Amino acid sequence: MTEAVLAVDLGGTKVEAGLVTADGAVLTDSRRRGATGARASAHELAAVIGDTVRAARTSHPQVDVIGVGIAAPGPVNEIDGQVVPINLPVLEGFALRTVIARAAGADESEVEFRRDGVAVALGEHWLGAARGADHALVLVISTGIGGGLIVNGTPLGGNAGHIGQMEISGVTGADCLGRTTMLESVASGPNTVAWAVEQGFSGATGEDLAVAYAAGDPIAQAAVVRCANAVGQAIGSAIALVPVQVVAIGGGFTRVSTDLVDLIAAEVARHPLPYVAEVPVVGAGLGADAPLIGAAALIYRRQTLPPRR
């Protein structure tokens, strides 16, 4: 009988679930998605999360589900299984681990619940661009900006790695937790597009920005460079504090240009500290499956996780 982990990733615009095997493959036809969003009520979000999890769990009745891995937006309380998500504030204090365990028909002892940045870092360390590194920083640039750290081969748990909430200098953006100087304020996908619109850009989405950038539109190019410089500045500050061997960058907004990661790497390389400037900055290795593979890694690589906090 095939064994798999039921992987669940909750984000600001969608919840995704699927069955992932021990080699990191998402089983065909097991992937299920549901829309979330800041305008939904807690009751509506609980319903869509439960429906999505049940649909993925029952997609392959013959599969032996050996555990449930949950990647959640932070901040999180790993001990109680609760979230206090910046991008879904209506879920503050929501017992996500319990809700998903019930929908999956699993005991909570079979469930591993961690922040999404921890999960994606663990996934990239397991099968992706950080494989083989003892120390790594993994970022995701999407609706928001998240991250996770691997130190001595072990992920830092809890809420360590909230790089989107690092403050940067020389540039401001949209409100994030009452501040306009956070990395997410400036460089998330939606906030990068919003800045371009303020400069006169006629598009409305990341896809529009990508097309315009490829066509040489000067506003689109300025927006992408502004995003890259902000992310590079934050990476430099993070790895000055916690030195790493590699930085891996993924997330849907990295597709806004073919050279976004290179632009970020160039900014990091300008850092005045040689041990920072010399760190390789590369694209993440797991592609669109990274969120589910990361959630599955919480079970497959459970022995590497630190105690819950």
Which CATH number goes with the domain that contains 19? 3.30.420.40
204 within a domain of the structure (yes/no): yes
Residues 59, 172 within the same domain: no
What rounded mean pLDDT belongs to the chain?
A: 97
Residues 268, 250 within the same domain: yes
Residues 62, 196 within the same domain: no
Residues 243, 211 within the same domain: yes
Backbone torsions φ then ψ of 41, nearest 5 degrees: -80, 165
**Model confidence pLDDT, tens digit, residues 26-58:** 998 999 999 999 899 999 999 999 999 999 999
Count up the domains in the chain and report the number.
Answer: 2
Q: What is the pLDDT of residue 80?
A: 96
Residues 246, 217 within the same domain: yes
83 within a domain of the structure (yes/no): yes
When pLDDT is averaged across residues 85-113 and rounded to a whole number, the result is 96
Residues 136, 260 within the same domain: yes
Residues 40, 175 within the same domain: no
Q: What is the pLDDT of residue 1?
A: 79
**Model confidence pLDDT, tens digit, residues 208-243:** 999 999 999 999 999 999 999 999 999 999 999 999
Residues 58, 45 within the same domain: yes
Residues 52, 108 within the same domain: yes
251 within a domain of the structure (yes/no): yes
Label residue 62 exposed, middle or buried (CB < 10 Å: 0-12, 13-18, 19+): exposed
Residue span of the structural domain in which 150 resides:
132-284
Residues 192, 95 within the same domain: no
pTM for this prediction: 0.96
Residues 293, 271 within the same domain: no
Residues 94, 235 within the same domain: no
Q: How many residues does the chain have?
A: 309
Where residue 153 falls (left for φ over 0; alpha for ψ -120 to 50; beta otherwise) is: left
Q: What is the pLDDT of residue 38?
A: 87
CA distances from 245 to 219, 221, 227, 228, 304 (A): 34, 30, 23, 20, 19
127 within a domain of the structure (yes/no): no
Q: Is the pLDDT of residue 195 over 90?
A: yes
Q: What percent of the chain clears pLDDT 70, i.e. is strictly above it?
A: 100
Residue spans of alpha helices (H) in the chain: 42-57, 96-104, 116-127, 183-187, 189-198, 206-214, 218-241, 260-269, 274-277, 290-300
